[in-house]
């Protein structure tokens, strides 16, 4: 497996929480096993302590993405470096179950959470240094605030998904129409409360 692909573990962990929607999908062992899909050994070893530890890690990883997204590069890097120190990788070449020799990054880590953290942070560090820190993003289609890694060729990604991009486009279209409509209303002397642009005579934007 490519090291860079491990960065997706960081993305998936952070996105188990949607802070602006008050949603959290990492609250039970079932949730945790879902997050660990495809990693059977970890699924079997996971316990409640791992949930707490990963929830804490989740908040710190979100800070890394948020800082990077607002251009606070040093802050993002400092936080990620702190995590890399706290959760070191334990690399071992492994050939279990008759598979080819391959690299395990978290062999014998003290807990599933520590293993997950080590691999996810390492993947994120590799991705950040290879693609550039500006590739770490937070979805701009509020109330979504999902994080993502922009791997697009034109480096212009602003949304976590096509769904959010569509939603943002529709919202922008509606806002333009609303502006147009309120402009018309002002022209005919409507006397509702002023809108945010302090133009007297426009109706409240409540669409
Ligand atoms: Zn293996
Ligand atoms: Zn989104």
The predicted structure's pLDDT at residue 186: 54
Cβ neighbours of residue 166 closer than 8 Å, sequence gap 6 or more: none
Q: How far is the CA of 98 from the centre of ligand 1 (A)?
A: 10
Q: How far is the CA of 96 from the centre of ligand 1 (A)?
A: 6
Q: How far is the CA of 141 from the centre of ligand 2 (A)?
A: 6
Low-confidence stretches of the chain (pLDDT beneath 70): 1, 184-207
How far does the chain reach from its first CA to its final CA, in angstroms? 48
pTM (2 d.p.) = 0.83
Domains in the chain, start-ordered, CATH in brackets? 3-165 (1.10.3300.10)
Q: How far is the CA of 130 from the centre of ligand 2 (A)?
A: 24
Q: How far is the CA of 166 from the centre of ligand 2 (A)?
A: 10
Using an 8 Å Cβ cutoff, are 26 and 17 in contact?
Answer: yes
Which of the ligands is closest to the CA of residue 92?
1
* Cα 200-201-202 angle, rounded to 5 deg: 100
Which of the ligands is closest to the CA of residue 163?
2
- pLDDT, tens digit, for every residue of 128-170? 999 999 999 999 999 999 999 999 888 889 999 999 999 999 9
Residue 172 and residue 82: Cα distance in Å, rounded? 39
Q: CB neighbours (10 Å) of residue 97?
A: 5
Ligand 1 being an ion, which residues bring their Cβ within 5 A of it?
Answer: 94
The predicted structure's pLDDT at residue 96: 87
Using an 8 Å Cβ cutoff, are 123 and 7 in contact?
Answer: yes
Residue 178 and residue 183: Cα distance in Å, rounded? 8
Q: How far is the CA of 19 from the centre of ligand 2 (A)?
A: 12
- DSSP β-bridge partners for residue 67: none
Q: How far is the CA of 33 from the centre of ligand 2 (A)?
A: 24
Which of the ligands is closest to the CA of residue 107?
1
């Amino acid at each position: 497996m490519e090291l860079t692909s491990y960065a997706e573990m960081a993305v998936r962990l952070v996105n188990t929480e949607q802070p602006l929607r008050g949603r959290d999908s990492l609250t039970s062992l079932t949730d945790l096993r879902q997050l660990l899909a495809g990693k059977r050994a970890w699924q079997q070893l996971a316990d409640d302590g791992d949930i707490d530890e990963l929830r804490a890690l989740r908040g710190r990883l979100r800070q890394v993405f948020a800082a990077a997204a607002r251009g606070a590069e040093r802050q993002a890097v400092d936080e990620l470096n702190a995590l890399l120190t706290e959760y070191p990788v334990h690399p071992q070449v492994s050939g279990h179950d008759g598979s080819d020799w391959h690299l395990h990054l978290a062999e014998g880590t003290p807990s599933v959470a520590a293993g997950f953290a080590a691999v996810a942070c390492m993947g994120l560090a590799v991705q950040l240094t290879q693609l550039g820190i500006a590739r770490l993003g937070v979805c701009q289609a509020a109330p979504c605030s999902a994080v993502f890694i922009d791997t697009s060729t034109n480096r212009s990604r602003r949304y976590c998904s096509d769904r959010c991009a569509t939603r943002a486009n529709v919202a922008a279209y509606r806002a333009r129409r609303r502006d147009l409509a309120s402009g018309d209303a002002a022209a005919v002397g409507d006397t509702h409360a002023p809108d945010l642009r302090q133009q007297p005579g426009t109706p409240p934007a409540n669409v």
